[in-house]
Amino acid sequence: MGYKVVVAGATGNVGREMLNILAEREFPVDEITALASRKSLGTEVSFGDKTLKCKDLDTFDFTGWDIALFAIGSDATKIYAPRAAVAGCVVIDNSSLYRYDSDVPLIVPEVNADAIFGYAKKNIIANPNCSTAQMVVALKPLHDRATIKRVVVSTYQSVSGAGKEGMDELWDQTKAVYNPVQEVPPKKFQKQIAFNVIPQIDVFLDSGETKEEWKMVAETKKILDPKIKVTATCVRVPVFVGHSEAINIEFEDFLDWQEAQDILREAPGIMLIDKREPGGYITPIECVGEYATYVSRVRQDSTIDNGLTLWCVSDNLRKGAALNAVQIAELLGSRVLKKG
Ligand SMILES: NC(=O)c1ccc[n+]([C@@H]2O[C@H](COP(=O)([O-])OP(=O)(O)OC[C@H]3O[C@@H](n4cnc5c(N)ncnc54)[C@H](OP(=O)(O)O)[C@@H]3O)[C@@H](O)[C@H]2O)c1
């Protein structure tokens, strides 16, 4: 016997990947339903070699369904996640709405799988921000060995992190640069994204940080260790899929770069690609459609006693969202629900 699974936001970037990954990983599904807004009623989405017709989330009854994977943004999640949870369906949510709620576990299975048992307080589990998810996968095995004190991270985040409208804006603006008759002013992003980089993701806070930067700090503490200090600069770049991060780490104990490479090579979820030669590293275009969090350019930071710098790249729609959510569903199945 398998699970009755709902994917809410099935027409979106993340929802479509959720359906792909559930099929690819042969998640034990007895029945599956794709939901989106009313305007997408009847829209066809793929699930393996099957085609599903989207239903309206607003009129859907979650009674009798086991797991709902949500990728619909915070505003809609606020309305529909409690509805599903009260009906006894466990929600695995991709929005930021519940990530900082102390009654909701925030999980990256390679890092804090045991937090799964906290799901029962609200019947909701939160999936982290895409840039946090890949970073904590890379930090965890190094933290276990040498205890991380401080992290300085700069991100290079793809436009798919801003949903399908973000991808359309980069595409349309790029074409318009070659055909200036069709001007495409910024709409989803604050400035032109084609042939440019933008040092703002999400809104500004009073501290001068953006909300995306704050999320990386708060989520790293909740998932990995509240004692770790993090400072982030989050930048949108004209890449369709794949987030990259330059990460500088200060440890309590000395960690040699070669030992760090060995640790990362063995760590779950990580693929080390690190040859000190031209092209001996990963770039975002090469990680699209992959499960791994890739690490390259591991090197000593000689400006501090115990420091390393590295480069980390992952498919933000996969490890940063849909894959992590499906891994949480697998964890929930194997440790708690135990069907299938
Ligand atoms: N993209 C990433 O890298 C990433 C990473 C981590 C987390 N997330 C989070 O995942 C969520 C989805 O992101 P996305 O990139 O997939 O966005 P997207 O491509 O814009 O898709 C949004 C999806 O939500 C549905 N939706 C929106 N409002 C709805 C409503 N009121 N009722 C029912 N369905 C509604 C849309 O349905 P219609 O097509 O019918 O409008 C669509 O299926 C967001 O919370 C985002 O922050 C995204």
CB of 28 shorter than 6 A to ligand 1: no
Residue of 252, 248, 21, 34 whose CA lies nearest to 139: 248
- CB count, 10 Å around CB of 144? 11
CB of 128 shorter than 6 A to ligand 1: no
CB of 97 shorter than 6 A to ligand 1: no
Respond yes or no: is residue 143 known to be catalytic: no
CB of 54 shorter than 6 A to ligand 1: no
- Quote the pLDDT of residue 339: 87
- Quote the pLDDT of residue 181: 79
Q: Whose CA is nearest to atom 1 of ligand 1?
A: 161
Render the burial of 104-125: b for 16+ CB within 10 Å, e for the rest: bbbbbbbbbbebbebbeebbbb
Rounded-to-integer distance, Cα 82 and Cα 89, Å? 10
Q: Whose CA is nearest to atom 44 of ligand 1?
A: 73
- Quote the pLDDT of residue 182: 82
Rounded-to-integer distance, Cα 58 and Cα 35, Å? 9
Q: Which atom of ligand 1 is nearest to the CA of 36?
A: 34
Candidates 89, 143, 234, 243; catalytic one: 243
Q: pLDDT, tens digit, for every residue of 218-265?
A: 999 999 999 999 999 999 999 999 999 999 999 999 999 999 999 999
Length of the chain measured in residues: 340
Residues of the chain with pLDDT under 50: none
For a ligand 1 pocket test, name from 11, 14, 108 the mutation site with the most ligand atoms within 8 angstroms of its C-beta: 14
Residue of 259, 256, 298, 292 whose CA lies nearest to 275: 298
Q: Which atom of ligand 1 is nearest to the CA of 164?
A: 19
Query: 208: left (phi > 0), else alpha (psi -120 to 50), else beta?
Result: left
CB of 11 shorter than 6 A to ligand 1: yes
CB of 325 shorter than 6 A to ligand 1: no
- Residue indicated by tokens 């559930």: 22
Two structure tokens written together for 159: 């436009």
- Residue spans of beta strands (DSSP E) within the chain: 3-8, 29-36, 44-47, 50-53, 55-56, 67-70, 90-93, 124-126, 148-157, 229-236, 243-251, 270-272, 293-300, 307-314
Q: Whose CA is nearest to atom 21 of ligand 1?
A: 12
Residue of 208, 226, 211 whose CA lies nearest to 148: 226
Candidates 130, 234, 287, 312; catalytic one: 130
Respond yes or no: is residue 130 known to be catalytic: yes
Q: Can you tell me whether residue 250 is helix, strand or coil?
A: strand
- CB count, 10 Å around CB of 42? 8
Q: pLDDT, tens digit, for every residue of 14-54?
A: 999 999 999 999 999 999 999 999 999 999 999 999 999 99
CB of 164 shorter than 6 A to ligand 1: yes
pTM value is: 0.96
